[in-house]
Amino acid sequence: LNIHSTALYDAHDKRMGTLIIFHDITRIRLLESMHKDFAANVSHELKTPLTTIKGFIETLQQMMADSQSALTQDSAVQFGRFLGIIEKNVNRMVRLIDDLLALSKLERLKGTDIQFEAHPLAGLIQKVVRFCTDRAQSRGITMDVHCPDTISAMVDPTLMEQAVFNLVDNAIKYSGEGVCISINAELKDDNIEIQIKDTGQGIDAAHLPKVFNRFYRVDKGRSRDQGGTGLGLAIVKHIVQYHNGRIEVESRRGKGTCFTITLPGAAEMETASG
Ligand code: ADP
């Protein structure tokens, strides 16, 4: 129920009473919730046939490998190429559905659903970095991490890992060969700041305010080539907001980009030596 009240006065400014308006918003809330459930259901339903298609692609690839000699050289090449294209597109759809599902889950989360715990931040960041190392190395990108072992953050570790991963993953995707990505975490006035900074292609000022919007991509072609869905930063923003934090971005075209997550309620753990 939404309640608004306004004082009522007559022509001589004498108070006549109060107007109270009760607005029943049950239906609006119900429709919002149906809309969010719908997105989750559709995503689940789409995933099932895609999993079947993926299975058959793998079977066909295997059959082709087993019967190479039965095919002419040309048709074998064509077969392989077409199957590769189908596989790439199926994988793209799977990623898109996974991101849509993640976003729709986040939208339906209530504060009480989140499993906040005091978690060592260095471990969380290192885990993300380990996960991204192969891909970074294959592009000659180095990652430099600075995070004191003593910082502990009140987070849902799985969600915060996902947020940091999306930012590091973007830094790798949108930086050229051989650049350096630095990931720094520090305590600042009772808050924790996590910065993911790259020296990659950067983002024009005109695009900056929009990059957190769903499906917003500065360069659609490049994002697609890199396996992007346009949902990564929207997911990060939701996760950070659920932690009562904020996310900011600074960037200069051709110079690089820096994303800063600020989380409230910093805690410094006792070191082993006390
Ligand atoms: P995507 O799946 O396309 O990467 P995101 O929501 O993660 O979607 O990012 C939105 C857009 O913001 C990207 O398509 C890209 O244009 C831009 N972007 C994000 N991170 C960076 C970065 N570190 N450097 C340059 N551009 C970036």
DSSP 3-state assignment of 21? Answer: strand
Please determine, for residue 220, whether its predicted confidence score (pLDDT) is greater than 90. Answer: no
Least confident of 49-58, 180-189, 234-243: 49-58
For 177-197, what is each residue's pLDDT tens digit? 889 999 999 999 889 999 999
Residue with tokens 């006035």: 189
Q: What is the mean predicted confidence (pLDDT) over 59-65? A: 85
For ligand 1, is residue 233 a contact (CB within 6 Å)? Answer: yes
**Count of Cβ atoms closer than 10 Å to residue 24 Cβ:** 9
| Ligand 1 geometric centre to CA of 170 (Å) | 6
CA of 220 to the centre of ligand 1 (A): 10
pLDDT in tens, 14-51: 888 898 988 888 888 888 777 777 777 888 888 888 88
211 CA to centre of ligand 1 in angstroms: 7
Q: What was the ipTM of the complex prediction?
A: 0.98
Cα–Cα distance measured from residue 174 to residue 217, given in angstroms and rounded to the nearest whole number: 12
| Cβ–ligand 1 contact at 171 (below 6 Å) | yes
The model's confidence at residue 227, banded by pLDDT at 50, 70 and 90, is: confident
The CA distance from 255 to 244, in Å, is 30
Distance CA 267, CA 269 (A): 6
> What phi and psi values does residue 14 have, to the nearest 5 degrees?
-95, 130
Q: What single-letter DSSP state applies at residue 49?
A: H
The CB density around residue 99, as the number of other CB atoms within 10 Å, is: 20
Which of 116, 197, 112 has its CA nearest to residue 152?
Answer: 116
Q: Is the CB of 237 under 6 A from ligand 1?
A: no
Substitution site in 223, 238, 250, 252 for ligand 1 pocket (most atoms within 8 Å of beta carbon): 223
Count CA atoms within 13 Å of residue 85 on its CB side: 5
